[in-house]
Amino acid sequence: MSYLPADPPGPGSSGPSGGASRDGAGAGDRGRAIFGALVLLVLVNVGVFLVQLASAPFSDMMGGGLVEHGGLNGWAVDDGDWWRVVTSGFLHASGAHLFGNLVALLILGGVLSVSVGPLRMLLLYAAGLLGSAFSVLAFDPSSLTVGASGAIFGLAGGALLVGWRQRRILLLLFAAAWIAYSLSSTLFVPGISQAGHLGGLVFGAVAGALLVDDGARLRSEQAATGLVVALVVVLFAGALLI
């Protein structure tokens, strides 16, 4: 073990307090490194919602210009609005819709940021978002769909597969419990995109499987990025061609 010798304490200071200050700064840096990507996702979702508020009344978010031109609809995508495949995942139908998704994102995203790292968490989110869009266009193309829940289901599916492949029992049980609870509303509450949620779950699980190698170890970030980005590209192309 190597270490850096501490400087002699200056006037009015003591060694222990100086050490505590450096430890605190290090902990803050580690926290920013682990949760920075998650904070960015939250800020993007909130920021887009604020723009929605400027373009539509709070009581009719689905009638605003942003949803009209950014929500996912098969006919619009067929007419050339390719960006809807991505933008729809950052739009929300109401404040309650946004709040519920942010709570789920903070919980699942936080757990995954700690357990597999922020980059792999972002890869699962992207796979869930594109997998959700692909599924909606394949099975429910006439609907107008918005929301981050497909991407969040991708986080849950990824957590489930990583927990299972690596025999991480707590992660596996947590993901399974969240999925069981969330599917109860997906399957029985009207107005929820079943295709979007299930597509995000399935392709998030596929991405989760890609994060783990044959020896049940997490792949390097470079290898994981290559595999999951390839999956995301295939899903995006499939969404445009389906």
Read off the pTM.
0.87
Question: pLDDT tens-digit profile of 156-182?
Answer: 999 999 999 999 999 999 999 999 999
Residue with tokens 């304490």: 9
Q: How confident is the model at residue 27 (pLDDT cuts 50, 70, 90)?
A: low
Distance CA 49, CA 84 (A): 16
Q: How confident is the model at residue 102 (pLDDT cuts 50, 70, 90)?
A: very high
Distance CA 23, CA 28 (A): 9
Q: How confident is the model at residue 54 (pLDDT cuts 50, 70, 90)?
A: confident
Distance CA 72, CA 137 (A): 8
Q: How confident is the model at residue 22 (pLDDT cuts 50, 70, 90)?
A: low
Q: Which of 5-9, 16-20, 185-189, 197-201 has the lowest mean pLDDT?
A: 5-9
pLDDT at site 66: 86
Q: Per-residue pLDDT averaged across 225-242, rounded?
A: 97
Distance CA 116, CA 71 (A): 31
For domain 23-241, which CATH number applies: 1.20.1540.10, 3.30.70.1290, 2.60.120.260, 1.25.40.10? Answer: 1.20.1540.10
Q: How confident is the model at residue 219 (pLDDT cuts 50, 70, 90)?
A: very high
Residue with tokens 């266009």: 137
Residue 146 has pLDDT above 50, yes or no: yes
For residue 71, the 8-state DSSP code is: S
Residues 6+ apart with CB under 8 A from 157: 124, 128, 175, 179, 200, 201, 202, 203, 204, 205, 206, 207, 208
**SS3 state at 114:** helix
Residues 6+ apart with CB under 8 A from 121: 37, 38, 109, 112, 113, 155
Residues 6+ apart with CB under 8 A from 65: 55, 56
Residues 6+ apart with CB under 8 A from 101: 45, 92, 147, 148, 149, 152
